[in-house]
Amino acid sequence: MLGPIDFVAIAIVALIFIPLERLLPLHREQKLLRSHWLNDAAFMFLNILPITLGVVFFSFLFAGVAQRWMPAGFLAAVRGQPIWLQAAEVVLVADIGFYLMHRTFHAVPFLWRFHAVHHSIEELDWLAAYRVHPLDQILTKSASVLPVILLGFSDGAVMLYVLLYKWQSLAIHSNSRIALGPLKWIFASPQFHHWHHANEPQAYDKNFAGQLALLDWIGRTLYMPAHMPAKYGTDAPMPQRFDLQMIHPFRRQKAPSVQQSNVAA
Ligand SMILES: [Zn+2]
């Protein structure tokens, strides 16, 4: 199920982020082995296979459509650009797909049931990035790769994007004070994404982008005050165990079903 490459990648990530969060902690009082860390470690190991299979399935589907419907001359022109320019374009189009699907997961009550698993985190750190329901991630990642595949970017540019996305995703969840200065209005940072997880009504349904905070400015969903949130998560009840979180979206929901409902809850 997991290959040696996966274990090496996880070990490298842990060896970088654990010291970083000790050296530059955002919430200094948060413990290394914070509550439910084992639950999120289970997500880290067990999610790799279903998410990979799901995204590969949709990628082949989109590639078939691209081959059939997209003009060959257009695809060749896209691939003919310098790799750095293609990579920048991939980040832009992939994050537009990510933004739209993420916003949809917040707006549609049935989809929110799946995404609520990720928002149940009450102590953010790099490991928290892995607590995602696989169906949520398969659809959101597929929305990111759809425009990338249809536009026919080269494999090298896509690899650069994937590497950047993975590291940025871990960094924005991390319990660290990494700051981007004025670039924080363009790129997603811990400050930007921590507000997405804040359990404060004014921050609900804000900061949907995965990489480009600029998209939230355009979409009028940006919320990034100078201070950092004090409380994360939602008020809706969520079991704090891997297996129960996996089946939670399919169970009868007694609680408010979208994040905004917490305002009245
Ligand atoms: Zn969200």
User: 140 — phi, psi (to 5°)?
Assistant: -70, -45
What's the CA-to-centroid distance between 50 and ligand 1, angstroms? Answer: 20
**What is the 64 CA–ligand 1 centroid distance (Å)?**
30
Tell how far the Cα of 104 is from the centroid of ligand 1, in angstroms: 10
How many A from CA of 258 to the centre of ligand 1?
A: 11
Q: Ligand 1 centre from 196 Cα, in Å? A: 6
Alpha carbon of 8 to ligand 1 centroid (Å): 28
Listed as own residue / partner, the contacts of 42-50 with beta carbons closer than 8 Å and 24 or more positions apart are 42/242, 43/130, 43/131, 43/132, 43/242, 44/10, 44/127, 44/130, 45/2, 45/10, 46/242, 47/130, 47/132, 47/134, 47/137, 48/1, 48/2, 48/6, 49/1, 49/2, 50/134, 50/138
What mean pLDDT do residues 178-188 have?
A: 93
Ligand 1 mean position, distance from CA 111 (Å): 11
What per-residue confidence (pLDDT) applies to 3? 63
pLDDT score recorded for residue 263: 37
Ligand 1 centroid from CA 119, angstroms: 6
Structure tokens at 116: 């609520």
**How far is ligand 1, taken at its centre, from the CA of residue 81, in Å?**
34
Confidence of residue 102 (pLDDT cuts 50, 70, 90): very high
Q: How far is the CA of 63 from the centre of ligand 1 (A)?
A: 28
Query: What angle separates helix 109-119 from helix 83-107, to the nearest 10 degrees?
Result: 110
pLDDT digits (tens, 9 = 90+) for 103-139: 999 999 999 999 999 999 999 999 999 999 999 999 9
CA of 74 relative to ligand 1 center, distance in Å: 34
Task: Please tell me the distance between residue 185's alpha carbon and the centre of ligand 1 in angstroms.
Answer: 19
For residues 195 and 203, the answer to whether their CB atoms sit within 8 Å is yes
pLDDT score for 8:
82
Cα of 20 from ligand 1 centre, angstroms: 24
Closest by CA to 205, choosing from 127, 117, 94, 99, is 99
* % residues pLDDT > 90 (the chain): 65
Report the distance separating Cα 125 and Cα 40, nearest Å.
Answer: 10
* Cα torsion through 251, 252, 256, 258, rounded to 10: 50
Query: How far is the centre of ligand 1, averaged over its atoms, from the C-alpha of 117 (Å)?
Result: 10
- CA of residue 180 to ligand 1 center, whole Å: 22
pLDDT digits (tens, 9 = 90+) for 20-32: 888 888 888 888 8
pLDDT at residue 17, as a whole number: 81
User: How far, in Å, is the centroid of ligand 1 from the Cα of 186?
Assistant: 19
Q: Confidence band (pLDDT; 50, 70, 90) for 15? A: confident
